Amino acid sequence: MAMATMRIMTSRMMNISPSSSSSSSSSSSPPLATQSLSAPPSSTNLPLRTIPGSYGWPLVGSIPDRLDYFWFQGPDTFFRSRMEKHGSTVFRTNIPPSFPFFVGVNPNVIAIVDCKSFTHLFDMEIVEKRDVLVGDFMPSVKFTGDTRVCAYLDTSEPKHAQIKNFATEILKRGSKVWVDELIGNLDKFLDTIESEISKNGSSTYLPHVQTFLFNFLSKSLIGADPAVDTDIANSGAFYLNLWLGLQLLPTVPLRIIQPLEEIFLHSYTYPFLLVSGGYQKLYNFIEQHGKEVVKRGQNDFGLSTSEAIHNLLFVLGFNAFGGFSIFLPSLFNTIASDKTGLQARLREEVRKISGSTTRLGFDSLKDMELVNSVVYETLRLNPPVQLQFARARKDFRLASHDSAFDVKKGELLCGYQPLAMRDGKVFDDPESFKADRFVGKGKELLDYLFWSNGPQTGTPSESNKQCAAKDYVTLSASLIVARMFQRYDSITGDSGNFTAVEKAK
């Protein structure tokens, strides 16, 4: 089971690889007129079209789609082929899990794969987000202590504001130590990588990345040092991996030996009992060593002890640890495998602004346009969360670039983000990795970078579902890149491995 969980991480990491192209020009096509987060584009002047596609026969109609998604095509080809077949970026299809193994889970969705229509997923006046984190399927609440944590709450539910504001406060509190913990634990990670390369000629870095992330995030978000508990220090990341994996296995294509994957991994939900021991240890760790943060949830935001801890665990494990575990390997692979001279440009920018020894901080990043652009471009091509869901709160008219579609109340929208972020009407040469796409005037394109459940230019609040740590994620990733090029002249590797590092001269 541990291997299956690691496979989830690596399959997500390698699902879509950026092109080796690293052009110096940003998008030459004018972007769409900027739209407010709460005001999707108008459909007034667009021709009305019936949403193409079909769900097939009741019950059995979803089976061919399920096999295509998990087995014969994989998600990217699944969505691309249907977009091309229907000549539309909005269409009806089925998303697994589904009958016969998940009775009561409705696989019918309206798929959205372009930037313009994607913005409707963020408009909380016309859509709701209640229990649709991974579509109509929802992992058992036993995985979160019989608590519907913030990710499953709609903005109309009073508890959402309490918990979202609690999460925002956690980040503000953590900002006091965030940079120091990030840099300190990153340096330990890089020391380990250097040692392994010296001994073995290469280093498989994902396990070390997760140790680095678990220690850094525990101290920054929870205010608790894993070192105080030997079991948590040694196995905390492992417990989180298993907890994440068991929840997501029914929805994630691993592309391993078929039909064994369909029979054993996608045919049923796994019981919480299999990970309950590790989850309880993580709960106890936060309860005993994160008391200050837990009390803040109780006293300032009206949460019970269990509500505060289960939401903290979800933020730590699902949002932060899980998201970074997918994103950072994509970022490392992008840089380490580049053959276009990108590393020399990054090194020059970092050292021109901060030197090779200056202590880095978020302020150091303001003028590192290339560093920041590389982070944004990696997020564009490899968003950590590929699917975004929302359910129509009422009947409304959805607009794509060229058509309008009527959506009925209760219908489930499914945005496939990797394809939407390759929208050729917004991004020039959209399939290619362009290191400085978001430099200079290219920053206007941040309006259409949707990795965080909203545009990069949006502001997370209690009234929307945008990631509370949106800015912390991008700033932290940029700090990691900057620190690596303070420390090294070059980094060599491929997907999942570093094979050589040349220390700064």
Q: What is the CATH number of the domain that holds 209?
A: 1.10.630.10
Is the bond preceding residue 100 a cis peptide, omega within 30 degrees? yes
Instruction: Give me the domain span that covers residue 31.
Output: 2-503
- Locate tokens 């220690």: which residue? 215
Residue recorded with tokens 């794969």:
113
Predicted pLDDT of residue 243:
98
pLDDT of residue 422: 98
Q: At CB < 8 A and 24+ separation, what contacts does 407-410 make?
A: 407/51, 407/110
Q: How many residues does the chain have?
A: 505
Element (H, E) at 491: strand 488-494
pLDDT reported for residue 359:
87
Q: What percentage of the chain's residues is helix, strand, coil (to nearest 5)?
A: 50, 10, 40
Can you list the alpha helix ranges (DSSP code H) found in 58-157?
Answer: 62-67, 75-86, 115-118
Whole-Å CA distances, 409 to 186, 234, 390, 391, 397: 47, 48, 11, 8, 11
Separation of alpha carbons 446 and 257, rounded Å = 39
How far, in Å, CA of 273 to CA of 302, rounded? 30
Output the pLDDT for position 471.
Answer: 96
Q: Judging by DSSP bridges, how do beta strands 108-112 and 90-94 pair with one another? A: antiparallel
C-alpha dist (Å) from residue 370 to 23, 223, 305, 442: 12, 32, 44, 11
pLDDT mean values, one per 10 residues, the chain (505 residues): 49 43 37 41 82 94 94 96 98 92 92 98 98 96 98 98 97 96 98 97 97 98 97 98 96 88 89 97 98 97 98 97 97 96 97 85 95 98 97 98 98 98 98 98 98 97 97 97 97 94 93
Model pLDDT, residue 101: 80
Q: Report yes or no: 412 and 135 within 8 Å, Cβ to Cβ.
A: yes
The region, left, alpha or beta by phi > 0 then psi within -120 to 50, assigned to residue 131 is: left
Place of tokens 């949707």: 450
Q: Which pair of tokens denotes residue 165? A: 């504001």
Q: At 185, list the tokens.
A: 């634990």
Which residue type occupies 92? R
What's the structural domain count of the chain? 1
- At 300 the pLDDT is 97
Strand order in the sheet with 387-392: 90-94, 108-112, 412-416, 387-392, 127-128
> Is 467 labeled as ligand-binding?
yes
**CA 335, CA 326: separation in Å to the nearest integer?**
15
Q: Given this model, what pLDDT does residue 29 score?
A: 34
The pTM score is 0.92
Strands (E), 367-451: 387-392, 396-399, 404-407, 412-416
Return the residue matching tokens 């940003």.
Answer: 26
* Beta carbons of 406 and 48 less than 8 angstroms apart: yes
Residue 97: asked if its preceding bond is cis (omega within 30°), the reply is: yes
- Quote the strand ranges of 34-179, DSSP E: 90-94, 108-112, 127-128
Q: Are 325 and 213 in contact (CB under 8 A)?
A: yes
CA distance 141 to 143: 5
Residues 345 and 172: their CA atoms lie apart, in Å, by 33
